[in-house]
């Protein structure tokens, strides 16, 4: 893809983000409840005091004025003050973001590593025992609610067998020096193997819980597209050339079969972000998902707005990356 086309594609993302901003802002304004009242709920505040706070927070201004003000600041990275932390929203989010990124990346990695080989094997041995097991397994994977499965894993591996930690992202004693904020990366940079092991042990169960439903879907998609590809003439021709089975499946078939998998993986990454909120709550993960859940309950408007906008941005960028990957795998869409 040429640089100018790349820029063009990136510019196309702007209206999408603007649309999301409008929707998020509108929805937060429409939901019942008043942050000023919530903040002063247990302090016996008089209506006059509440009104003063509303004025200070700018909540008494009209909706369009508030939106314009939000937008001007947002493009500069200023999302206002978090109503409860009394610090800038951006700073609060930046503190929580690395843990969520690490968890999501681990879940994505886990599901891809599980789903693609399983999907290929199931397609190659269609109707065989492995295919049936994988199909039933994927049905479970899609159907199990994350909070239930997470708790189950916790009970078995953390409580009964005491193999893995129950909650959090790292033990206090193992905390590596903060360099990037990403625990695994910091452990590696500081050459702290104990931190790395501890962080990975904490990461394992939440990543599996988060990644399993996605793995189930990706497995089905890979299996279906692999079956489709294996029927193609170019696979027969590759066989007639006397190529090894590994090369036929791993290169000729998989390079074509992965296209739908990547598309679905990109879309599913969106639900990964949503799933984060549940899984982070179950596992006490110090990430953005839990922060957002807490902030919604507390009507912490500025933080929720910024977080949802960030989710939208991530989603759009992930799909953009998937499009780029598409052009690598499929030369016909290369321009």
Partner 1 sequence: MTEPLLEITDLRVAFHARHGKVRAVDGVSLTVAPGECLGIVGESGSGKSVTFAAVMGLIRPPGRIEAGRIRFAGRDLVGLDAASYRQLRGRDIAMTLQDAQTSLNPALTVGTQIIEVLAAHGEGNARARAVEMMTMVGIPAAERRLGDYPHQFSGGMRQRMMVAIALSCRPKLLIADEPTTALDVTIQAQVLELIASIRAKLGMSVVLITHDLGVVADYCDRVAVMYAGQIVEAGRTADIIGSPRHPYTEGLLASVPDLHNLDRPIRPIEGQVPDLIDLPPGCRFLPRCPKARPDCAKPVPMRAVGEGRNVRCVLT
Taking the least distance from each CB to partner 1, the nearer of 31 and 244 is 244
Number of residues near partner 1 (by CB under 8 A): 21
> At closest approach, how far in Å is the CB of 237 from partner 1?
4
Q: Map the footprint of partner 1 across residues 10-49, applying CB under 8 A.
A: none
Task: Using alpha carbons, list the distances in angstroms from residue 132 to 221, 227, 265.
Answer: 15, 15, 23
Here's the x/- map for partner 1, 243-282, by CB under 8 A: it reads as xx--x---xx--xx--------------------------
Q: Which of 15, 62, 162, 332: binder of partner 1 (CB under 8 A)?
A: 332
Task: Say if CB 28 and CB 305 are below 8 A apart.
Answer: yes
Taking the least distance from each CB to partner 1, the nearer of 99 and 249 is 249
Task: Say if CB 310 and CB 77 are below 8 A apart.
Answer: no
Strand-pairing partners, residue 88, are 81
> At closest approach, how far in Å is the CB of 115 from partner 1?
20
Taking the least distance from each CB to partner 1, the nearer of 86 and 332 is 332
Taking the least distance from each CB to partner 1, the nearer of 73 and 255 is 255
The two structure tokens encoding residue 288? 């953005």
**Does 239 engage in binding with partner 1 (CB under 8 A)?**
yes
Q: Map the footprint of partner 1 across residues 155-174, applying CB under 8 A.
A: none
> At closest approach, how far in Å is the CB of 153 from partner 1?
38
**Does 231 engage in binding with partner 1 (CB under 8 A)?**
no
**Does 322 engage in binding with partner 1 (CB under 8 A)?**
no
DSSP 3-state assignment of 280? helix
Distance from C-alpha of 191 to C-alpha of 202, rounded to nearest angstrom: 18
Taking the least distance from each CB to partner 1, the nearer of 86 and 245 is 245
Task: Say if CB 85 and CB 92 are below 8 A apart.
Answer: yes
First to last CA, the chain: 5
Nearest to 275 by CA among 98, 117, 148: 148
The two structure tokens encoding residue 22? 């409008």
User: 104, exposed or middle or buried, with CB in 10 Å at 0-12, 13-18, 19+?
Assistant: buried
Q: Which of 140, 148, 237, 297: binder of partner 1 (CB under 8 A)?
A: 237
> At closest approach, how far in Å is the CB of 127 from partner 1?
10
> At closest approach, how far in Å is the CB of 3 from partner 1?
21
> Measured on CA atoms in the order 41, 309, 55, 76, is the torsion positive or negative?
positive
Contacts of 8 (CB under 8 A, 6+ apart): none
Q: Which residues bind partner 1 (CB under 8 A)?
A: 232-234, 236-244, 247, 251-252, 255-256, 329-332
């Amino acid at each position: 893809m040429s640089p100018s086309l790349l820029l063009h594609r990136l510019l196309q993302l702007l209206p999408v983000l603007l649309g999301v901003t409008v929707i998020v802002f509108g929805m937060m304004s429409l939901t019942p409840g008043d942050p000023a009242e919530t903040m002063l709920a247990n302090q016996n505040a008089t209506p006059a005091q509440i009104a003063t706070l509303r004025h200070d927070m700018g909540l008494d201004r009209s909706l369009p004025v508030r939106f314009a003000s939000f937008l001007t600041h947002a493009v500069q990275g200023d999302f206002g003050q978090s109503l409860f932390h009394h610090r800038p929203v951006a700073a609060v989010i930046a503190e929580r973001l690395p843990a969520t990124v690490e968890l999501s990346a681990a879940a994505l990695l886990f599901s891809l590593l599980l789903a693609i080989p399983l999907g290929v094997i199931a397609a190659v041995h269609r109707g065989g025992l492995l295919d049936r097991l994988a199909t039933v397994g994927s049905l479970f994977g899609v159907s199990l609610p994350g909070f239930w499965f997470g708790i189950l894993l916790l009970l078995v591996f953390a409580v009964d067998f005491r193999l893995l930690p129950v909650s959090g992202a790292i033990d206090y004693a193992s905390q590596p020096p903060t360099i990037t904020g990403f625990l695994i990366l910091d452990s590696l940079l500081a050459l702290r193997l104990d931190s790395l092991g501890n962080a990975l042990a904490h990461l394992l169960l939440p990543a599996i819980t988060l990644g399993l439903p996605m793995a189930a879907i990706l497995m089905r998609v890979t299996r279906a597209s692999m079956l489709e590809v294996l029927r193609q003439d170019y696979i027969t021709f590759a066989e007639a050339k006397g190529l090894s089975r590994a090369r036929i499946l791993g290169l000729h078939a998989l390079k074509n079969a992965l296209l739908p998998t990547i598309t679905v993986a990109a879309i599913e990454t969106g639900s990964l972000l949503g799933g984060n909120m549940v899984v982070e709550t179950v596992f006490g993960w110090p990430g953005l998902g839990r922060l957002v859940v807490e902030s919604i309950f507390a009507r912490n408007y500025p933080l929720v707005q910024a977080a949802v906008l960030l989710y939208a941005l991530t989603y759009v960028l992930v799909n953009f990356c998937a499009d780029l990957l598409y052009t690598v795998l499929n030369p016909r869409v290369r321009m």
